[in-house]
Amino acid sequence: MIKILAIGDVVGKPGREACRKIIPKLREKFDLDFVVANGENLAGGSGVTKDTVQELLNAGVDVVTTGDHIFKKKETKEVLEAHMDVLLRPLNYPQGVPGQGFTVITTNKGINIAVVNLMGRVFMQAVDCPFKAIDAVLNGIKKRANVVLVDIHAEATSEKVAMSWYLDGRVSAVFGTHTHIQTADETVLPKGTAFISDLGMTGPYKSVLGRKIDQVIEKFLTQMPVRMEVAEEDVRLSGVLIEIDSESGKANTIERVQEKM
Ligand SMILES: [Fe+2]
Ligand SMILES: [Fe+2]
């Protein structure tokens, strides 16, 4: 059995601080083998920089997945190159886009764990089909790893739930990210795939999805461009703990986690 912590969208400095303070404690408390975090909001709430990804790795994160905000910073291509193998962008971006959509990491115990990053298309950018994208790579990945984790970064619950059934028994876990709100539907599906629609946000909860409340309300009231800064208060880490049989790749349990800083 291996124990994995998956945490949702880490937002800005408060989110990174929460990771630095809480992940080492959880690693020890639960004797974690692997930590995966969604980092699309790492740098100032949108996108990634070399240093902010490094901060997350230093905090004890093994692989950083991302989503629709990945290319927000000018230097993204260099960041993806600098952290190749541990920083992913959604697999189903069009061909030729920098970065990679999956990786295989060997843990301290010598277990190979694959992470695949997908992005939904409903109410989002017109990327390639996430279902066909994972089909194209999954057989190859499974030759290299028994344990396969999938981050489906998507807006629509239906697309995430459909993906979980599509992959049931073919991967170890499917977890949704992007909405920043943790859902209460964690379950192990009949063929052994752990699933939750959304891991929730790691960042400031006295906010609107991590941004300052007044600024977001102003945006809704005026429909004009408004600078939306990262909020600061009530910082929490949010995600799930998953136990997986490293031989069969099937999940045993999935449990929600939300820790205050
Ligand atoms: Fe996000
Ligand atoms: Fe997103």
Ligand that lies nearest to the alpha carbon of residue 154, given by its number in the listed order: 2
Instruction: Express each pLDDT in 224-248 by its tens digit.
Output: 999 999 999 999 999 999 999 999 9
Position 215 confidence tier, pLDDT thresholds 50, 70, 90: very high
- What whole-number percentage of the chain has pLDDT above 70? 100
Task: Tell me what the mean pLDDT of segment 120-131 comes to.
Answer: 97
Give the DSSP H or E segment for 102. strand 102-106
Q: Between helices 50-58 and 12-30, what is the axis angle to 10°?
A: 20
> Helix, strand, coil shares of the chain as percentages rounded to 5?
30, 30, 45
Cα–Cα distance between 174 and 155 in angstroms, integer? 15
Q: Following CA atoms 250, 237, 78, 83 in sequence, which dihedral angle do they give, to the nearest 10 degrees?
A: -40
What are φ and ψ of residue 71, in 5° steps? -95, 25
Instruction: Express each pLDDT in 91-116 by its tens digit.
Output: 999 999 999 999 999 999 999 999 99
Q: What is the mean pLDDT of the chain?
A: 98
Distance 247 CA to ligand 2 centre (A): 33
Distance 40 CA to ligand 2 centre (A): 7
This prediction has a pTM of 0.98
Distance 128 CA to ligand 2 centre (A): 16
Domains of the chain (ranges plus CATH)? 2-204+234-260 (3.60.21.10)
- DSSP-derived 3-state class of residue 133: helix
pLDDT of residue 171: 98
Instruction: Express each pLDDT in 245-255 by its tens digit.
Output: 999 999 999 99
Residues with active-site annotation: 69
Q: Following CA atoms 233, 234, 237, 240 in sequence, which dihedral angle do they give, to the nearest 10 degrees?
A: -140
